[in-house]
Amino acid sequence: MSANGSSSNHSGEINPIPWMTWLVGVLVMLSITRNFLYLCLIVLCLNMICVILSKQTNAMGGLISPFRLTVMITLMASVFNMLTSHAGETRLATIPGNLPYLSGAITLEALVYGCTNGMVLSGLFLSFYIIHLVLPTRAFLQLVPRAYHSLAVIAAIAITYIPSTMQQFHQIREAQTIRGHRLRRVSDWLPLLMPLLLSGLERALQLAEAMTARGFASQEQPSSPVVARLALVIGLVITILGLLPRIFPTSMMWVGESAFYIFKKSNWLLVAGGLIFASSLWFQGSHIRRPRYQGYTWSIRDWDCILAIGLPLSIFALHASGQYHASLFYNPYPLFQIPVFDNLTGISLLGLLGILVNTSRDVP
């Protein structure tokens, strides 16, 4: 379950916004760079944060320790890529024969690429896991845009009722045992499942009654104007258009000159599509009243966080256009070489750890 390590002072909860900013920053960094040295550093930082936070918050451990998971994913990705992708020039070995995917050279480049992919994936996973360790569920649900308020309530209910469902399951198991039930075949699961389901349905009814008694609105909301709904779809369509040039570069040939123009602007199309979509959602959500009970106060620590993530991010952004372009967009193909590693960038990545500053007040 998510950690309850929030501060006990009156200013309230952990402010989720700097954390979400941090998350977005990490995600952006992960998606931009392919330089495995940088990635290594990022992933190591994330692992360290994970370990420190787990100790601090005493959260329910995941099923596998994050570090092992990282290694597993990276390994899997590299092996997979090695076996299936046969480009590159530094051959390590060769799989003979005519197997559909597998035969061909096993190259170092493929290994490196696979490794990189794996690290990106584990980085993604770790960053979400860190957020999970820190933020209580309620903070998540408050961040949900108002348009999805009903879903947030459903998710909240589900999360609230999971512990009692598990408890009920144990009770049911015992109750069935005392009437002679033994778990021998698959069909013996039915007496365990049915009371659970039936109790669940009955409880849902009671909960609905309690919610109604507390004033939860049960009328249908006024149907949204057609324009807003159309806008959603249009936003989606535009986004897809923005993606098409990336996918069919060759088939753009026959569309002509104007196609090239669109192609160059495809990035903008993506963003535009997303914006239209988002604004339509916002508009449609705006007539759902949801007064915010919890206001967040910003402390100096929160600002430190933003700084901590802003620094590496901005350096990255600079590099994207500047002289160190190559170090970010490193590509192991066709020939493997050690990527360029800019010391400054590397050190700035350590700024990721800055997020730990925000958590030190959680120590009980």
Partner 1 sequence: MGGLLALLAPFLSRLHGGKPENQAANADFSPFHLLYLLGLCLLLLLWEMQRQNRDPKMLALLGVLVAINSTLRFMDIAIPIPGGFSPIFFLIILTGYVYGAEFGFLMGALTLLVSALITGGVGPWLPGQMMTAGWVGMSAPLCHILVKRMKLSGSVVERILLAGFSGLWGLVFGAIMNLWTWPFFIAPSGMSMDVEGGWRSLIASYALFYLTTSLVWDLSRSAGNMLLIWMFGAPVLRALHRLKLRFQFEILTSGALVDDPIYNGSETTGVKSNVS
Partner 2 sequence: MIRFQSVSFTYPEAHQPAIQGIDLHIPRGEFVLLSGVSGSGKSTLLRCINGLVPYFSGGVIQGQIQVAGISPLEAGPKAMSQVVGFVFQDPETQFVYERVEDDIAFSLENSALPSVEMRRRVEWVLDLLQLREYRKRRLATFSGGERQRVAIAAGLVRHPQVMVFDEPTSQLDPQSSEQVLQTILQLHRELELTIVLSEHRLERVLPYVDRIVHLEMGQPGVISGPPQTVLKQIDHTPPLISLAKTLDWQPLPLSLDQARQFAREARTNSWRLPLPSTRNPSPGQALRSPHTPVMQICDLEVDIGKTNVLRSVSLEIYPGEILAIIGANGVGKTTLLRSLVGLQKPARGQITLDGKPIHGLNPATICQQIGYLPQDPNALLFSDSVRAEMLLTLKNHQLSQHQYPTDALLEELGILPLAEAYPRDLSVGERQRAALAAILVTLPKVILLDEPTRGLDYLCKQQLTRLFSGWREAGRAVVIVTHDVELVAQIADRVALMVDGAIKTQAQPAEVMQNHPEYASQVARLFPNTSWVTAQQALSEMNK
297 touches partner 1 (CB under 8 A): no
Quick one: DSSP state of residue 222? P
Q: How would DSSP label each residue in 185-233?
A: SGGGGHHHHHHHHHHHHHHHHHHHHHHHHTT---SPPPPPPHHHHHHHH
**Binding partner selected for residue 277 from partner 1, partner 2, none, CB under the kind-specific 5 to 8 Å limit:** partner 1
Query: Of the two residues 26 and 281, which places its CB atom closer to partner 1 in the complex?
Result: 281
What residues between 9 and 38 interact with partner 2 by CB under 8 A?
none
Distance CA 2, CA 135 (A): 7
Contact assessment for residue 160 and residue 104, using Cβ atoms and an 8 Å cutoff: no
CA–CA separation, 216 and 156 (whole Å): 15
State the binding string over 166-205 for partner 1 (x if CB under 8 A, else -).
x--x----------------xx-xx--xx-xxx-xxxxxx
- 5 near partner 1, rule: CB under 8 A: no
Tokens of 143: 């961040």
Are 89 and 334 in contact by the 8 Å Cβ rule? The answer is yes
Tracing tokens 């160059």 back to the chain, one arrives at 264
Rounded Cα distance, 242 and 236, in Å: 10
- Binding part of the chain for partner 2, among 173-181, 311-319, 327-335, 339-347 by CB under 8 A, reads 173-181
Among 153, 262, 270, 357, binds partner 2 (CB under 8 A): 153
Which 3 state secondary structure label does DSSP give 106? strand
Please tell me the distance from the alpha carbon of residue 29 to that of residue 312, in angstroms, as a whole number: 9
Verify binding: residue 295, partner 2, rule CB under 8 A.
Answer: yes
Residues 213-232 contacting partner 1, CB under 8 A? 216-221, 223-224, 229-230, 232
195/288 Cα distance (integer angstroms): 37
Q: Residue from 207, 253, 275, 318 that binds partner 1 (CB under 8 A)? A: 207
Candidate list 139, 281, 349, 352; residue touching partner 1; CB under 8 A: 281
Q: Is 63 in the site for partner 1 (CB under 8 A)?
A: yes
Q: 179: which DSSP letter?
A: T
282 phi and psi, to 5 degrees?
-60, -40
Q: Among residues 134 and 315, whose Cβ is nearest to partner 2? A: 134
What does 174 interact with, of partner 2, partner 1, none (CB < 5 to 8 A by kind)? partner 2
> Which entry of partner 1, partner 2, none binds 326, CB below 5 to 8 A by partner kind?
none
- Binding to partner 2, residues 213-242 (CB under 8 A): 213-218
Which residues are CB-neighbours of 299 under 8 A, at least 6 positions away?
Answer: 11, 15
Of 75, 76, 72, 96, nearest to 86 (Cα)?
Answer: 96
What is each CA distance from 315 to 32, 113, 180, 278, in whole angstroms? 12, 24, 68, 29
Instruction: Name every residue whose Cβ is closer than 8 Å to that of residue 49 and which is 6 or more positions away in sequence.
Output: 130, 352, 353, 355, 356
Give which of partner 2, partner 1, none residue 237 binds (C-beta under 5 to 8 Å, depending on kind).
partner 1
92 secondary structure, DSSP code: E
**What residues numbered 243-272 form the site for partner 1, per CB under 8 A?**
243, 246-250, 270
Residue 333 binds partner 1 (CB under 8 A): yes
136, 3 Cβ separation under 8 angstroms? yes
Return the residues of window 187-206 that contact partner 2 according to CB under 8 A: 191, 194-195, 198-199, 202-203, 206
Q: Which does 67 bind (CB under 5 to 8 A by kind): partner 2, partner 1, none?
A: none
Indicate which of partner 1, partner 2, none lies near residue 295 (CB less than 5 to 8 Å, by partner kind): partner 2
Among 75, 154, 227, 347, binds partner 1 (CB under 8 A): 154
By CB under 8 A, name the binding residues for partner 2: 1, 4, 6, 8, 136-138, 153, 156-157, 159-160, 163-164, 168, 171-172, 174-182, 191, 194-195, 198-199, 202-203, 206-218, 289-295
